[in-house]
Structure 1
Amino acid sequence: MLEFSHHPTLVVASLAVALMAGFSGLAITRGASALPLARRKAVVAISAVALGGGIWSMHFVAMLGLQLPILFYYDGLVTLISALIAILMVGLALLILHFRDRTPASLTMAGAIVGAGIVAMHYVGMSGMELCRPVYSVGGVLVALVAALALSIAAIWIAYGERTRGHILLGTLFFGVSVFALHFIAMAGTGFVGLGGGGGTGPILSNEVLAMGVTLSSFAICGAFLLSGITFFPVKVAAPPSVESQQAVKDMVPTPDKLLRPSGTRVSVPYEKEGRTQFLDATAIAAVRAEGHYTVIYAGVNKLFCPWSISEASKRLEPAGLIRTHRSFLVNPAFVTEFRRTKDTGLCFFEAVESLPKVPVSRSRLSDVRQVLGV
């Protein structure tokens, strides 16, 4: 067996890449489940590239730091396949998380898929080495697999159990550590033997060529990390208005006669969660969206299922101050932080409601909405 070691600077760099990739991928998808279908698919695809590409980049940053007493290089085709495996398996996990109900079973399944993707990427990437061959111990493979699965499942449970900033940051830590730990646990159970010649099926990638590719991917991950950080940690985040401030705003805003309501009216809105019917005060609702014969309620970071139809919600919530902006939307003016006119229609924005980026205003409703908002 050949003696080998790792360059400490590149070991630290590999951990940094894994953490940045984890943060970028998990932060990008925050609020994605509330997006329209096409945008949600795009966000999931971007996140899969960030997370899967981060797994690949972390691995090869660490491999650039591998020091062997012989020259070695990589099979380009196998190296590309290893990257695609990571991206596709992470993408599958994200599809489960953002297009299916999040239950304990689905969270565990998604975490296991991510962990299996990390393991598959590592060993496929290692198989692309030429002029030397990695030799594994059964114990090393099993320990690496268990570590990757356990840490990845924990990362998904933490990051997706509650989509708060704290949970995403802690999930990022677990994701980065799972990728990092898998690599070096697996390497601890790996030996290397020299070979007489290469037998790769793809083009040769020397360490120098690989370093350029890894540098570019790491640069992209750093860019995604910085862009995600700007929106994840805004300079100023408006706190959700209190019930008192909401009422004060409503009392100050001029309203058409048909929107006048009795003072002090309170409405409790039913929603379904974990098989139980619970109730929410209407003043905490930012908007309501039609979903077939039912509706979805947007309140803070929550997106809740309501058994009312949009017509029934409109009738019941009018006394609480919500207005119809579109055939599919009701809006609470107290939560609107920006209004934009777009030709004959408009858009309402909600800075403090993370699950709701914007709501359309139809042409027929534009005049009433503008009057209520005072614009």
Structure 2
Amino acid sequence: MEFLDFGHNPWLVAVSFVVALVAGATGLSLTRDLSEKSVSQRKLAVALGAIALGGGIWSMHFVAMLGLKLPILFYYDAAITLASALIAILMVALALVLLHFFPRTRMTIAASGAIVGAGILTMHYVGMAGMQLCRPIYTGAGVIGSSILAIALCILAIGVAYSVRSNRTIVIGTFCFGAAVFSVHFLAMSGTNFVALENIREFGPVISNEVMAVGVILSSFVIFGAFLWVGTTYLEPAHSGMAQEVTFTPEYSAKDSQTANEPAIVRIPCERDGGKVFVAAPDVVFVRADGHYTQVYTTTDKYFCVWPITEAVKRLVPTGFLRVHRSYLVNPQKVVRFERGKDKGQCTFGENNLPPVPVSRSNLKDAQSAFG
């Protein structure tokens, strides 16, 4: 078996890395601040993010393949090539669904990163299977090395980008994602050899490099356009997105509070059975962090709230709520018993269906002071 000599066009190699970075920035930006949006808006953002990230994986691969220099003419099977794009988009979509519709834990983040890494690998090898008139031959070291690198870098990218959704973490996550897509492709290619074939193995229509170039240009145009659209949101003033929140929980100035006979009652926007429910703060027993969202507990029900725990602290602590743990806020009026251990504590409530709330060491002093 005689292997073909091959190389890469350095300019297209550089362009492929830029495409991966732009796709990462677009996808991670599209899925930012979804805790403040409705379920339907989150679904749309997840779908668009999956298309941006999965389409970017596909576009990066085939930009790099356009730069592949072989001594023979080769083509691509259109059906297999399209299938590789769909695989990348669907696997990224699965990872984003885990991140935005399930409790976000370390295990969830690791699983999502592993799924994205597996999506990159699957897309690469399915896309390579679509080559016609030449056949790729893989080495074990190349497959194993690219697999480990893909999963490790994608777990790192998702872990950084979803630790705290800020501009800084999105930028770092973007570079980790771009490095994952780029390095996995070329590490896999370094462990690949090519042999010439005499006949075309037809599965679907055959397309040339010229037609593939048009398709890649169109997909890259869409990704770059989405990047410009998303990028403009970073130019908006930081306070521009607060108007909608005011309709849920109007804030009152100190002057208004002093002149009112009773303090204003904060109404917490929650969701249940597909509808919006507003729960008055005095009726709440405690609030528990749930990833980038919260769960609101009353004496009879539990509600899903789009506020992150930081927003709940900002809104409810001024009304008398006490933060006893980084993941918990309690209504002191509902606490019937406070127990202190050596370096932690526990709050219990009068309702048997409510679990106790832990008090962390850092909040123990404040809790002891509040409960006497």
Distance in 1 between the 2:43 and 2:181 partners? 25
Q: 1:197 to 1:167 in 2, by over 3 A?
A: same
Amino acid paired to 1:121: M
Aligned to 1:237: 238
Contact 2:61–2:124, Cα closer than 8 Å, also in 1: yes
Q: 1:22 to 1:81 in 2, by over 3 A?
A: same
Distance in 2 between the 1:217 and 1:57 partners? 7
* TM-score scaled by length of structure 1: 0.69
Where 2:162 maps in the other structure, the secondary structure is helix
Where 2:238 maps in the other structure, the secondary structure is coil
Where 2:73 maps in the other structure, the secondary structure is coil
Aligned to 2:87: 85
Amino acid paired to 1:50: A
Distance in 2 between the 1:58 and 1:256 partners? 62
Q: 1:302 to 1:214 in 2, by over 3 A?
A: farther
Offset at 1:88?
Answer: 0.4
Distance in 2 between the 1:195 and 1:177 partners? 33
Aligned to 2:179: 177
Q: 1:295 to 1:139 in 2, by over 3 A?
A: closer
Aligned to 2:358: none
Offset at 1:257?
Answer: 5.2
Aligned to 2:126: 124
Distance in 1 between the 2:311 and 2:128 partners? 43
Q: 1:295 to 1:184 in 2, by over 3 A?
A: closer
Aligned to 1:296: 305
| Aligned positions, number | 288
Q: 1:190 to 1:318 in 2, by over 3 A?
A: closer
Offset at 1:240?
Answer: 11
Offset at 1:163?
Answer: 1.1
Match of 1:272 among 288, 312, 320: 288
Q: Which consecutive unaligned segments of at least 5 residues does structure 1 have?
A: 242-247, 262-266, 276-287, 307-312, 321-375
Moved over 2 A (4+): 235-241, 251-261, 269-275, 288-299, 301-306, 316-320
Distance in 1 between the 2:175 and 2:68 partners? 24
Q: 1:303 to 1:63 in 2, by over 3 A?
A: farther
Aligned to 1:250: 253
Offset at 1:236?
Answer: 3.0
Distance in 1 between the 2:151 and 2:71 partners? 33
Matched, 1:165 2:174: no
Offset at 1:197?
Answer: 1.3
Distance in 2 between the 1:6 and 1:224 partners? 28
Amino acid paired to 2:143: V
Give deviations 1:262-309, integer Å, cap 9, x for gaps.
xxxxx9x9533489xxxxxxxxxxxx999964473747x945599xxx
Summarize the alignment of residues 55-204 of structure 1 with structure 2, pairs less than 5 Å apart.
55-204=57-206
Distance in 2 between the 1:294 and 1:84 partners? 36
Amino acid paired to 2:305: V
Where 1:95 maps in the other structure, the secondary structure is helix
Superposed CA RMSD in Å reads: 3.5
Identity %: 48
